[in-house]
Structure 1
Amino acid sequence: MTTQDLLDERYGRTRSPRRRIVGWSIVAVLALGATGFLGWTTVANSLGSVTATDTGFTVENDRSVSATFQITAPVGEPVACALEARDEEHGTVGWRVVEYPASDQHSRAFTEKIPTLSLATTGFVNACWVP
């Protein structure tokens, strides 16, 4: 052993294999923890979301349109939806917010009438949420 090696060993200037293993173990635990946290937040956010799918509409007359849609929401939570009617120039001619009580079903279908100011060419769900 050279004098430099003896001095390095004596004063702790070398890294032992144990220190390397402990360092990489800490890095691995932190990486696994971060991955688990991101996975859990993704699942938790999707469990509380509400989605709506338009399935049709019927123009009743120049003062109302019916929108048919299906919502998928968390079980046991009330849901509110904003319904919108538009004319042929894409202007909003009717708007209505409907609230549904909590249900034990995950998916439900509805048909709702939207009052309009003039003749509408479409009716649809703008957004749904858990109030």
Structure 2
Amino acid sequence: MPLPRPAPGTGRWWVIGTIGISIGVALAVWLGLANSLGAVTFVDTDYKVIDDRSVQVGFDVHRSPDQAVTCTVEAQDTAHGVVGVLEVQVPPSAVRSVHQQVVVRTASRAVGGSVRDCRTS
């Protein structure tokens, strides 16, 4: 069964619509890539509760080479309340990805630790 043909005189609008949608998709892809290029990202790798007053947190930071980054690491208790916060300076280096291990001092026993955010400094 053949597909129905567009009504006479509407072919031009199909072409204009197709071109418009193609430009819109290309613009959306370009904006998405432009906004993510050079962005600082991080990944929590591990944590270990050392004692009632400290937790060790490991994480990877991915950023542009030679870019200094400041990360906020926090420790949480059983009710997901923050019991400790540490600002970590990641100095610039020639490599893109850096692994960090830090010890966060806590006000009470923590059950977990993670990175809240990382930003350029």
Short-chain TM bin: 0.7 to 0.9
Superposed displacement of residue 71, structure 1: 1.3
Equivalent in 51, 61, 64 of residue 61 of structure 1:
51
Structure with the higher strand share, 1 or 2 = 2
Partner of 2:80 in structure 1? 90
Larger radius of gyration: 1
Aligned residues: 112
In structure 1, runs of 5+ residues without a counterpart are 1-20
* In structure 1, C-alpha distance between the alignment counterparts of 2:63 and 2:94, rounded to whole Å: 10
In structure 2, runs of 5+ residues without a counterpart are 1-11
Map of 1:1-131 to 2, 5 A cutoff?
36-131=26-121
Structure with the higher helix share, 1 or 2 = 1
8 Å contact kept, 1:47–1:74? no
Q: Which amino acid is 2:102 matched to?
A: E
Q: Which amino acid is 1:106 matched to?
A: R
* In structure 2, C-alpha distance between the alignment counterparts of 1:56 and 1:84, rounded to whole Å: 13
Structure 1 segments of 4+ aligned residues over 4 angstroms from their partners: 26-37
Q: Which amino acid is 1:108 matched to?
A: V
* In structure 2, C-alpha distance between the alignment counterparts of 1:94 and 1:43, rounded to whole Å: 35
Identity of aligned residues (%): 34
* In structure 1, C-alpha distance between the alignment counterparts of 2:38 and 2:28, rounded to whole Å: 16
